[in-house]
Amino acid sequence: MITGDILPQVSKVVVQEDINLYAVASGDHNPLHLDQEFAHNTHYGRVVAHGMLVLAYVSEMMTQAFGLHWLGSGRLKARFRSPVYPGDRVTTYGEIRRVVRKGSSVDLECIVGCRNDGMEDVLTGQAWITIPEGSIEDIKW
């Protein structure tokens, strides 16, 4: 694992059922995400997926790459750039930007994001994770 390594991608087609399920799980029942008529009268013109649903795909990518290490020590900072609509395919991306060895662990800094099929960034950000030195060999993607 070195600077420049590319993380595994996660690609999803966002469908209204995913948005509905996320609304239930999160408790965010904003009609912008659920009501076609309401959303039609906004500047988006249609239903928009929850930004945090899209961010969950980035976390899924990090979990695929780093497993329990991500779940135990991972941190994300993200900026939502563009809306995601039902029917959009989004694909995550990520790259290790910095590797710092600190005693018995390794700190990684990654650039992460998610793009739609038009290659437009819908989310950009950074992720950090700390991995025990002896566990680095176990991480393979």
Domain range holding 129?
Answer: 50-138
- Is the pLDDT at 44 greater than 90? The verdict is yes
Asked if the structure places residue 103 within a domain, the reply is: yes
Residue identified by tokens 């961010």 is: 55
Give the Cα separation of 129 and 116 in Å (integer): 26
Number of domain units in the chain: 1
Asked if the structure places residue 25 within a domain, the reply is: no
CATH number, domain with residue 93: 3.10.129.10
Asked if the structure places residue 64 within a domain, the reply is: yes
Average pLDDT of the chain to the nearest whole number: 95
Give the Cα separation of 70 and 126 in Å (integer): 13
pLDDT per position as a tens digit, 58-91: 999 999 999 999 999 999 999 999 999 999 999 9
pLDDT for residue 134: 76
